[in-house]
């Protein structure tokens, strides 16, 4: 067993340690009365009566967050129309949202773990994994990955996308085991400071859900809810608007149920206050929503029956002084209704790049083997394994020459005449549209390559399907196999098992070994010998 796997085995042991004898049932019920009193005392300053929604001015904002220089905004640039101005309004918002959440929340595996798990470290780990997986990925996609990960501690990340998240989660877990005695940091400030890859949102989510810290969070769903509730039409990704949203979140979070409140706000954005077709009639805070009030006002104006009707509050019109309102260049669109808020910044189309990649195959004792090399530890698909690749060359001759040189760097002299072009694969990442020209080279009738430099390894085709490779590389492999996506007609010559027929990795240590040897370049020598 490698030292790394040994360390992660210790982490598994920590996460499986017996539950603390603190009772049963919902975690809110399991908290001691003394803990509740101490928590209430520590968070008493977070009550919103003296808070105007701006983090830099809010006495309830966590000190570590409030002192960040980028959060200093100009009060004069924000109208009070976009703030919660009294405790009654804040209390009504909290109560309505939490009552709705208690009745309508989805049954999700990470919520069950957070509610039922009494051990604080195990609870925090469960929340941590879910929040990392949910970054840039929909709930429906995450559920099965999360369930498998928590059952076996570490499932292969391939297929979930945004692969650097898995690497950072692994690095953070190692730090918890090796440097923090197996205990998770208890506050948003220390979580963000001590754990690699844990940013402001993830730290706040873990601290509020696992440890009951009254700290607000803002993700895409929460930002959309707050923008509509307070009629914020400016770009939510801008510094000023972003910090205003964080200030509102901190003002609104319920000190008694911070984790539930944050999840409720996210749930509302995910299921009711959706990007394109919000279900306003089902919204628990509709009466407090300024976007909805604006819709009603515009309807009254359109029907010319404004006189005699109740006044509808609005921001000072046409002054151009409020930096949270809809920009003058994008005025109110009657057809959009509440979807006027927030207005999204124009998104740049993904840049186009081209690459040539080659599946190099040789016979082996356990069947055909293919060569994989590891990508750098930073940048696109950091740390994942791929077929040897080079950037696109302007001519076929130069392309073949460059690709052959790259192959020989890893595997030694190769017969150039066997290098053949098979087709192309187009894969779009979040910001890059990458076209792969796919080549193949089969080493038949010659002595197999038995040693490779660090950062490369030979795998059987079965091992390939459980290795840390990207979806793009799986597409490349299907082209090499000569099959269309979704079929199970593999090449007889290569005898490659397809995704339709491959066996699932067995539980336990084998999964740990496969996952971590796929991600750590320092174990490359032992990995190569194991693969052979």
The catalytic site residues sit at 131
H or E element: which one contains 459?
strand 456-460
Q: What's the gap between Cα 46 and its chain centre?
A: 28
CA distances from 82 to 97, 143, 504 (A): 19, 36, 53
Q: What residues contact residue 425 under an 8 Å CB cut-off, 6+ apart?
A: 435, 436, 438, 472, 475, 476, 479
What's the burial of 166, exposed, middle or buried (CB within 10 Å: 0-12/13-18/19+)? Answer: buried
Q: Cα separations (Å) of 261 from 238, 258, 267, 285, 423?
A: 25, 5, 10, 13, 51
DSSP type of residue 508:
T
Give 483: exposed, middle or buried? Use CB within 10 Å, 0-12, 13-18, 19+. Answer: middle
- Angle in degrees, 0-180, between the axes of helices 220-229 and 258-271, rounded to the nearest 10: 80
Length of the chain: 532
Please choose, from the candidates 361, 525, 519, 511, the residue with its C-alpha nearest in 3D space to the C-alpha of residue 439. 361
Structure tokens, 405: 């040189």
**Bridge pairing between strands 420-428 and 432-442:** antiparallel
Per-residue DSSP letters for 124-183? Answer: HHHHHHHHHHTTTS-HHHHHHHHHHHHHHS----TTSS-THHHHHHHHHHHHHHHTSTT-
Cα dist from 93 to 75, 213, 250, whole Å = 24, 19, 13
Q: Which residues contact 490 (CB under 8 A, 6 or more apart)?
A: 481, 483, 496, 497, 498
Classified as helix, coil or strand, 504 is coil
Residues in a beta bridge with 357 = 389, 438
Task: Enumerate the β-bridge partners of residue 424.
Answer: 437
Number of other residues whose CB lies within 10 A of the CB of residue 448: 13
């Amino acid at each position: 067993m490698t030292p790394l796997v040994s360390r992660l085995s210790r982490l598994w042991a920590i996460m499986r340690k017996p539950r603390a004898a603190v009772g049963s049932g919902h975690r809110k019920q399991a908290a001691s009365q003394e803990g509740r009193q101490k928590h209430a005392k520590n968070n008493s300053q977070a009550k919103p009566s003296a808070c105007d929604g701006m983090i830099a001015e809010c006495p309830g904002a966590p000190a570590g967050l409030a002192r960040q220089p980028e959060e200093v905004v100009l009060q004069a640039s924000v109208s009070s129309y976009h703030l919660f101005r009294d405790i009654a309004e804040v209390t009504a918002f909290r109560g309505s949202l939490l009552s709705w959440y208690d009745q309508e929340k989805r049954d999700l595996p990470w919520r069950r773990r957070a509610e039922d798990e009494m051990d604080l470290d195990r609870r925090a780990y469960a929340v941590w994994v879910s929040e990392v997986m949910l970054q840039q990925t929909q709930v429906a996609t995450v559920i099965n990955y999360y369930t498998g990960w928590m059952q076996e501690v570490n499932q292969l990340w391939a297929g979930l996308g945004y692969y650097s998240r898995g690497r950072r989660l692994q690095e953070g877990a190692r730090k918890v085991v090796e440097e923090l005695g197996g205990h998770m940091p208890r506050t948003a400030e220390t979580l963000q400071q001590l754990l690699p890859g844990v940013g402001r949102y993830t730290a706040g989510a873990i601290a509020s859900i696992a440890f009951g810290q009254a700290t607000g969070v803002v993700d895409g769903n929460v930002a959309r809810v707050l923008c509509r509730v307070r009629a914020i039409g400016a770009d939510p990704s801008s510094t000023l608007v972003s910090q205003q949203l964080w200030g509102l979140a901190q003002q609104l979070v319920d000190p008694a149920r911070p984790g539930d409140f944050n999840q409720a706000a996210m749930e509302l954005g995910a299921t009711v206050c959706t990007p394109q077709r919000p279900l306003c009639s089902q919204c628990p805070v509709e009466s407090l929503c300024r976007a909805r009030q604006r819709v009603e006002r515009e309807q009254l104006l359109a029907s010319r029956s404004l006189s005699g009707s109740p006044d509808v509050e609005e921001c000072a019109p046409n002054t151009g002084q409020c930096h949270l309102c809809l920009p003058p260049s994008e005025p109110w669109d009657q057809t959009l209704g509440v979807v006027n808020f927030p207005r999204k910044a124009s998104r740049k189309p993904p840049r186009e790049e081209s690459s040539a990649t080659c599946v190099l195959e040789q016979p082996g004792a356990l069947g055909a083997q293919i060569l994989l090399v590891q990508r750098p530890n930073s940048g696109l698909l950091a740390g994942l394994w791929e077929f040897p690749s080079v950037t696109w060359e302007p001519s076929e001759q130069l392309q073949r020459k460059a690709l052959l040189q790259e192959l020989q760097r890893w595997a030694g002299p190769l017969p150039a005449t066997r290098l053949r072009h098979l087709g192309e694969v187009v894969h779009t990442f979040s910001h890059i549209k990458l076209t792969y020209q796919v080549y193949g080279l089969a080493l038949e009738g010659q002595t197999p390559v038995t040693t490779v430099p660090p950062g490369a390894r030979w795998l059987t085709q079965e091992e390939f399907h459980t290795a840390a490779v990207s979806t793009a590389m799986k597409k490349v492999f299907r082209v090499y196999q000569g099959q269309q996506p979704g079929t199970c007609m593999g090449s007889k010559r290569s005898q490659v098992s397809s995704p339709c027929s491959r066996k699932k990795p067995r539980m336990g240590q084998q999964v740990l070994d496969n996952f971590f040897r796929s991600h750590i370049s320092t174990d490359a020598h032992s990995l190569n010998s194991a693969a052979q």
